[in-house]
Chain A
Amino acid sequence: MNSDSQQRDNALNQQLIVLVEEIKQYSANDDSAIIRVKRRIALNKFVNAVVNSGRLSKQTQWSGLPNYEDYHNEALQLTFMEICNKIDEYNPQYPVMAWVNKIFHWRFIDVVNKERKKGLIMVPKGKKISPVLSLDDINKEIHRENQISQEEILSEIINKDPDKFLISQHLRGHPEANLKVILLFLLEGNKWKEISQDLGIPLTTLSSFYQRRMHKIIDYLKKYI
């Protein structure tokens, strides 16, 4: 049994070593796009091979933490980044997965320390505060009383248009197709198709006019917030 699993580990390590050698063979700063692409493809394959190896540590010493899965995911994500950026430093004296799991362990400690500072670990037992929202969670607990939304603040400024800037910016020959009108339409949740039909102006003309002025609009609105 034991020697079987050892054999499998050796075969896995050989496979990973081949990929590491392939990556190292191509310089990240080579003048040739082909060389750089080859390195990146090998790097991508390497990360996939690590994920699919079945030998990534579960880091079970932390399995008692509330939100253990989130800690695990955060540390794993940091580990991917680090093995990609430090692949040239890997010492082939050690098995590849030992190197990866050591990094994974250190990053796990970092994440735990960071979150502990934020006080998340002090959450009372049984009460699970999840900082990672699911699709269904996104819209829960937003109706806080007495709080004005950003939409309301923005639409007030746009309606007032204190310097008459938004109304002055319009498509040539179409004073009615100005930024104020477009912005109010958008804040009400209208789609570009509807706005285009309403103003009788081609959609691409309108959206491109709007997009190009975005930074001016933001700078203007910021002055009054």
Chain B
Amino acid sequence: MKSTTGKLTFTVPLSFESHAIAQELVSEIHNQEKRQQVYLNSLSVYTVNNYLCCMGFETDYSESDSRNPFAVQLMNVADLIVKDIGKLECVPVLAETEVVEISPEVWEDRVGYVFVELNDSLKEAKILGFIPKARDKVVLSQLDSLEDVLVYLTELEVVESKQDEITSHIISFRQWLDGIIDSSWQKLDELLKPQQLGLAFKNELSITRGQKIDLGMHLDKISVALVMKVTSESDNEEVDILTQVYPVGEMALPEGIKLIIGDETGVGLEVVSRQDDNWIQSEFSAESGERFSITVIYGDSEVKKEFEV
């Protein structure tokens, strides 16, 4: 038994399935150079797909351009779609090659380039390594290792799945206006004292909801109500948003509570409570699809909520 440590490699045996896919793609191509290019590209993509599936990645092999008979005719393409990550170009390399050129039509829209060595019998393919960004000429002895491929793709995969989670926590005003409101957002008469109501809200066609937020530690602990009023004009993509912070159980806010509205660029509006303020507020409008965050800060503690219009 050879050593199992040291540089990682992966070799895929190629047989009926891989060659059937390649033969189908070249069946109507007569130009010899093009035939060879398409055939080798196809085996190379098959190899990388096989490797990534073994390693537990999800791919969209059949939807890749490299499987499309027109795309392969019109481009020198060997792409593989890796789900939630992007397109990986799988560049075939024949034995004893030292330098490879990457074809210009695949310089963009790729998360990386994996190099696959095919032997002359085309019965076996070995994954050599990768580079994250396209280069005109690639020296094979300087490739990043297979371990780097795994690290790089896994990091992209994890970042992607975290973003999905964040998205599911975003509060959608479109849903509010459609009457779908998470029960953690209460009606104001359930949250505030009658005297506090009616200060800013008159009879308007809008949705108003509030949520209790605990801030501060120990003796400084306070509860405030974050109140959102969303007004939508029917013929407009824009939504007016009024956001307010009220004290819960008290009539006045402590001094120094910050209300910050931030958009995707991170730039935002900031309001700070002064002594004896009954509430603080910030008003703005946002377009459909726009995302923003609302942060309430008191001392060292802060609560951030993400919204989408």
Return chain B residues, CB-CB under 8 Å to A138: 26, 35-36, 39
Q: Which residues of B8-36 have CB atoms within 8 Å of chain A's CB atoms? A: 8-17, 19-20, 22-23, 26, 28-36
Q: Which residues of B98-124 have CB atoms within 8 Å of chain A's CB atoms? A: 103-109, 118, 120-124
Return chain A residues, CB-CB under 8 Å to B105: 192, 207, 210-211, 214
Given A41-B147, A52-B4, A192-B104, check contact A139 B54 (CB 8 Å).
no
Q: Which of A36, A49, A51, A222 has most B Cβ within 10 Å? A: A36
Q: How many whole Å from A188's CB to the nearest CB in chain B?
A: 10
What size tier do the contact residues of chain B reach? 35 or more
Q: How many whole Å from A193's CB to the nearest CB in chain B?
A: 8
Q: Which of A12, A51, A81, A132 has most B Cβ within 10 Å? A: A132
Q: Are B16 and A70 neighbours in the complex by a CB distance under 8 Å? A: yes
Question: What 1/0 mask marks residues of chain A from 184 to 220 whose CB sits below 8 Å from any chain B CB?
Answer: 0011010010000000000110111011101001100
Q: Are A49 and B4 neighbours in the complex by a CB distance under 8 Å? A: yes
Q: Are B150 and A37 neighbours in the complex by a CB distance under 8 Å? A: yes
Q: How far is the CA of A224 from the CA of B176 in the complex (A)?
A: 47
Q: How many whole Å from B54's CB to the nearest CB in chain A?
A: 4
Given A15-B4, A31-B158, check contact A47 B15 (CB 8 Å).
no
Return chain B residues, CB-CB under 8 Å to A132: 14-16, 19, 122-123
The residue on A at minimum CB distance from B70 is: A218
Q: Are A32 and B158 neighbours in the complex by a CB distance under 8 Å? A: yes
Given A28-B56, A115-B16, A131-B19, check contact A151 B106 (CB 8 Å).
no
Question: What 1/0 mask marks residues of chain A from 100 to 126 whose CB sits below 8 Å from any chain B CB?
Answer: 000000000001000100000000000
Return chain B residues, CB-CB under 8 Å to A74: 13, 15-17
Q: Does A19 contact B (CB under 8 A)?
A: yes
Question: What 1/0 mask marks residues of chain A from 29 to 42 whose CB sits below 8 Å from any chain B CB?
Answer: 00111001101110
What size tier do the contact residues of chain A reach? 35 or more
Q: Are A222 and B70 neighbours in the complex by a CB distance under 8 Å? A: yes
Q: Are B120 and A214 neighbours in the complex by a CB distance under 8 Å? A: no
* Stretch with Cβ within 8 A of A (4 or more), from B71-79, B180-188, B192-200, B261-269: B71-79
Contacting A204 at CB < 8 Å: which of B17, B55, B104, B122? B104
Question: What 1/0 mask marks residues of chain A from 123 to 162 whose CB sits below 8 Å from any chain B CB?
Answer: 0000000011111101100110000011100100000000
Q: How many whole Å from A84's CB to the nearest CB in chain B?
A: 4
Q: How far is the CA of A47 from the CA of B150 in the complex (A)?
A: 15
Q: Are A149 and B104 neighbours in the complex by a CB distance under 8 Å? A: no
Q: How many whole Å from B295's CB to the nearest CB in chain A?
A: 24
Return chain A residues, CB-CB under 8 Å to B157: 33, 36
Q: Does A43 contact B (CB under 8 A)?
A: yes
Q: How far is the CA of A76 from the CA of B17 in the complex (A)?
A: 12
Given A134-B120, A151-B29, A189-B33, check contact A19 B4 (CB 8 Å).
yes
Q: Does A77 contact B (CB under 8 A)?
A: yes
Q: How many whole Å from B118's CB to the nearest CB in chain A?
A: 8
Q: Does B151 contact A (CB under 8 A)?
A: yes
Return chain B residues, CB-CB under 8 Å to A80: 12, 50, 54
Contacting B108 at CB < 8 Å: which of A40, A131, A208? A208
Q: How many whole Å from A157's CB to the nearest CB in chain B?
A: 11
Nearest 10 Cβ contacts at the A-B interface:
A207-B104, A73-B13, A74-B15, A149-B30, A150-B28, A84-B54, A73-B15, A33-B158, A52-B2, A192-B104
B contact residues vs A (CB 8 Å cutoff):
1-2, 4-5, 8-17, 19-20, 22-23, 26, 28-36, 39, 50, 53-56, 65, 68-71, 73-75, 94, 103-109, 118, 120-124, 146-147, 150-151, 154-155, 157-159, 162
Instruction: Give 7 pairs: A residue, B residue, CB < 8 Å, sorted on A.
Output: A40-B56, A73-B15, A77-B17, A84-B53, A133-B122, A138-B35, A151-B73
17 extra A-B contacts, CB within 8 A, seeds A36-B154, A77-B13 = A43-B55, A49-B1, A49-B4, A70-B15, A70-B123, A73-B13, A80-B54, A131-B16, A131-B19, A132-B16, A149-B31, A150-B28, A150-B29, A154-B73, A154-B74, A189-B33, A214-B75
A contact residues vs B (CB 8 Å cutoff):
12, 15, 19, 28, 31-33, 36-37, 39-41, 43-45, 47-49, 51-54, 69-74, 76-77, 80-81, 84-85, 111, 115, 131-136, 138-139, 142-143, 149-151, 154, 183, 186-187, 189, 192, 203-204, 206-208, 210-212, 214, 217-218, 221-222
